[in-house]
Homo-oligomer: A and B are copies of this chain.
Amino acid sequence: MTDIVFNHATVRERADMLTFLRLSAERGLQTVSVWGDEIAKVGENDALSVLHDLGMTVSGYNRVGPLSAGSLDQAEAELERAARFEADHVFLFTGGLRDNEKDLGSARRRIEDSIGKVLDSARKIGVKLAIEPLHPMVTGDRSVISSLSHANSLCEALGPGIGVVVDVYHCWWDERLPAEIQRAGDAGWLLGFHVNDWLIPTRHLLTDRGMMGDGIIDLRGIYSMVRSAGYKGAVEVEIFSTDWWSRDPAEVMDIAIDRCRSLFSEE
């Protein structure tokens, strides 16, 4: 069975970080993905101490960005906190267009330049960066990197210390997906694989993701692509959903684990 990791965002509305760590440990999970703002809420010392007491490790740290607004100082503070949590990788959240900005091509070049600067800092601090392309429905306000192709090309241009995270929600529609997953795998850029599902109908652009199996994404098919491309890491559950946020966190995690076991078994 593949490892399962929860992203704290999946249950953050009703479980603070310390509760989330305990719920994960109780389910035999050894790794979590965490958020800087949730660490701040419970206090970094307490968060680190519970993490260590439970013998857990951190996969993804959310996040550096938005790059369009934040200063490099702020990015470095996040990178340093991620290093203290010994996170495997740190998510870059590019942000979208500036107020009144319409030239997407030049916005992309500006943000690519910023990523280069953050990468210099990340190398010094000793943490890996992860680009997670987000769905084209949030290009304007959340991420100007809208495809795995673009993320891969950026990794190629920028060199060591940066990779990609494939979230099925953001990438499943792309006719280039099989080839680009293989490309990322061949180059050693695959840092994470996030799962959830696309619901029909989808009632909100940000907060109506589905539980794995409740939607239309070919989760087994995409999992098979990342495995064939050499990805050996965990399956990370990340569901932004007002429906699932309103339910008992333990129940949500149990359902998600069942779904993962049924969808992502190795045999």
Contact = CB atoms under 8 A, between A and B. Distances in A.
Given A104-B172, A108-B175, A218-B102, A200 B140 contact: yes
Contacts of A219: 102
A3 interface: no
Contact of A141 (B101, B146, B200): B200
A139 B173 contact: yes
A147 interface: yes
A237 interface: no
Contacts of A202: 137, 205
Given A97-B216, A136-B137, A221 B103 contact: yes
Interface residues on A, range: 20 to 34
A102 B146 contact: no
Given A146-B173, A150-B175, A175-B108, A102 B217 contact: yes
A137 B135 contact: yes
Interface centre among A102, A198, A215, A221 (most CB of B within 10 A): A102
Interface in A147-195: 147, 149-150, 172-175, 178
A137 B198 CA distance: 9
A28 to B, nearest CB: 29
A55 interface: no
A137 B206 CA distance: 12
A18 B140 CA distance: 38
A175 B139 CA distance: 11
